[in-house]
Chains A and B, each alone.
Chain A
Amino acid sequence: MKSSIIKFLPAAAVALAVGGCTTVPPFGGYDDEPMAADQVEVVDQYYGGDSQYAADATGAYGYTSPIAASGGVYEEYESEEAIQELLNTLTVYFGYDAANVAGDFRNVVVAHGEYLAANPDVTVTVEGHCDERGSREYNIALGERRANSVKDLLVAQGADERQIVTISYGEERPAMEGSSEQAWSKNRRAEFLY
């Protein structure tokens, strides 16, 4: 099918999330039968009950879906096209003075991590970058924190550490010149170089 396939976690694994409801709600996008354990992926995202989405400790959020609202933890299983699109995305952006991979960029990094896990011969360089504000060597350290944050998420998807090289350029290689908010937001980034 063209639309997303939804995998779901067994109730036991769901307990950390919303809890309570153990019935699988009727929904037209997934198999009604529970998956075998080896098909189940533990997600490190969770839903925060009634909120649209809830930031976790690293500021990432889970999806809102009808299923989630009724009490399960699910992970969207993307179409090949969607995954390719995520893999074609080679830059993820960060908030000011932040190093957590947040929002939709988490999907991007997860897709790259799964790709690396499935292709152990592939290596990638993750570059961390900063905007121009503040001191230069502190920004080198901050850029490294960003690159490592991406690396950790790649490894969490099963990629091997040896597939990943990180380097921080701090504010030394801006993607966009200028001292505007727009330029700064374009420069706070991590880049995948395959």
Chain B
Amino acid sequence: MRLKGLSNTLLILSLLLWNAQAAAALTIEITQTVDAGVPVAVVPFGWVGGGAGLEQDVAAVVRADLDRSGRFKNLPVRKMVAFPQTGSEIDFDAWRRLNLDHLVVGQIRPLGADRYQIRFQLFDVVRKEQLAGYKMNTTARDLRTTAHRIADIIFEKLTGHRGAFATRVAYITSIKQPGGGREIALNVADADGFNAQTIVSSPEPLMSPSWSPDGQRLAYVSFEGGKPGIYVQDIYSGKRQQVASFPGINGAPAWSPDGRRLALTLSKDGDPDIYVLDLQTGQLRQLTDHYAIDTEPAWSPDGRWIAFTSDRGGGPQIYRIPSAGGEPERLSFKGGYNARPSFSPRGDAITMVSRVGKQFRIGLLNLRTKAIRILTEGALDESPSFAPNGSMIIYATKVNGKGELAAVSVDGRIRQRLAMQVGDVREPIWSPYSKAQ
């Protein structure tokens, strides 16, 4: 069976809706860190060239990333004893007297118009040895991204876990308009809140963004035209395609790990069930068939399972079904409301919305023990999504009636708040690692 949308090769380049324009910026505030962060100093990078140097303070971006992770204690620039740019310029004993464990130094040199080379080195101050050193070529536009990659390398060397600073977050904003109504927008920003871009905007609801595994495209639900449809859009070119517009619900798109399929919710046959759509062939396969609500599919990282929300047992709970088809199996047994599953990158846990008393909070379901741990303390927390390295979970919350984003580490020790100046922000989805990395 082919979809209506695909058979017409309905490739809409909607200039009306697509405007990759700067969106309202998100500001990030660390609200809780680990007590004993690793002491580190990121010395301002030297400029090896003529003129005044760069406006962008690359070292400051690295410092902010490490700060935001909650696992490091940065030495402020004003307390630095010297400003070495290379390893040979470092007086290790002087830094050691500041009880510093690690030191980062670097240089930036111009490579012609708008191109630069950044060299940086990470040192163990106690052992006086280099732990990492790289030369990275970049452009003026990509300076921040390169800084995030440097932070990723430092994070991995010092914690043993891959960094996730050079990633992005997609999210929905809702901003009241002067003439009444709201403008709903799907946006993408760097994981530090910078470079926020609007991907699509509409006076009608936009919801449920899902990243393609290559980080190039987003699937989402749009109610434009007065009914829900599922769209797939290239975030760079703005090209988009409607992939589902059946009668009833067209919702909850979720990209398969191989990038070839979308799991989604359709109610064309009377009640919401989970389907899998092959994006190449347009082939649609029904995965669940139950008169109850089945929705919010999520792929396991190995692509073998699809977890979903179902109220077939009374209240909403998490189930899973083999993505190739089979019998659903219930996964969550504690609490009266567990919904919107999302797998950890290792596939060993599911984060979800769990009702605790009258509060809706972010829960973590251990798939081995089936134990549920509540990670947040809000009343209206929803839409949790893992960072691609599994260290943090980003989610939506309400603070004083305003929609905000927040993030919490999986161990609950580190908390961040991501707020916008105006309007509500919700449905954050952390991007996968960029393939270019």
Contacts and interface: CB of A to CB of B under 8 A. Distances in A.
A138 B293 contact: yes
A169 B293 contact: no
Interface string B226-253: 1110000000000000000000110110
Interface stretch (B72-80, B126-134, B377-385): B377-385
Contacts of A166: 248
A128 to B, nearest CB: 10
A135 B309 contact: yes
Contact of B208 (A134, A137, A142): A137
A168 B360 CA distance: 22
30 contacts: A97-B315, A132-B380, A133-B380, A134-B337, A134-B360, A134-B382, A135-B339, A135-B382, A135-B383, A137-B207, A137-B252, A137-B265, A137-B340, A138-B293, A140-B207, A140-B252, A141-B249, A141-B251, A141-B265, A141-B267, A141-B293, A144-B248, A144-B249, A167-B226, A167-B227, A169-B223, A170-B207, A177-B401, A178-B401, A179-B380
Interface in A37-68: none
Given A144-B248, A169-B223, A179-B380, A138 B205 contact: no
A136 B208 contact: yes
Given A141-B267, A141-B295, A134 B339 contact: yes
A7 interface: no
Contacts of B265: 137, 140-141
Contacts of A186: none
Interface string A162-177: 0000111110110001
Contacts of B249: 140-141, 144, 168
A145 interface: yes
B139 to A, nearest CB: 38
B206 to A, nearest CB: 9
Q: Is the interface of B mostly helix, strand, loop or mixed?
A: strand
Interface string B249-277: 10110000000000001010000100000
A155 to B, nearest CB: 13
B105 interface: no
B295 A140 contact: yes
A138 B355 CA distance: 14
A138 B208 contact: no
B272 A136 contact: no
B404 interface: no
Contacts of B355: 134
B295 A137 contact: yes
Nearest to A168: B249
Interface string B331-374: 00000010110000000000001010000100000000000000
Given A134-B382, A138-B295, 4 more contacts: A132-B380, A134-B339, A134-B355, A140-B249
Contacts of B205: 169, 172-173
A140 B251 contact: yes
A138 B296 contact: yes
Contacts of A167: 226-228
A176 to B, nearest CB: 12
Contacts of B267: 141, 144
B176 to A, nearest CB: 9
Interface-centre pick from B293, B315, B380 (highest chain A CB count, 10 A): B293
Contacts of B353: 134-135
A85 to B, nearest CB: 28
Contacts of A170: 207
Interface in B278-321: 293, 295-296, 309, 315-316
Nearest to B267: A144
A163 B434 CA distance: 49
Interface string B172-208: 0000000000000000000000000000000001011
A179 B316 contact: no
A173 to B, nearest CB: 7
B152 interface: no
B65 interface: no
B398 interface: yes
Contacts of A144: 248-249, 267, 272
Nearest to A97: B315
A137 B207 CA distance: 9
B293 A142 contact: yes
A167 B228 CA distance: 8
Contact of B382 (A136, A142, A145, A173): A136
A142 B296 CA distance: 13
A123 to B, nearest CB: 14
A136 B427 contact: yes
A8 B309 CA distance: 46
Contacts of A97: 315
A135 B385 CA distance: 13
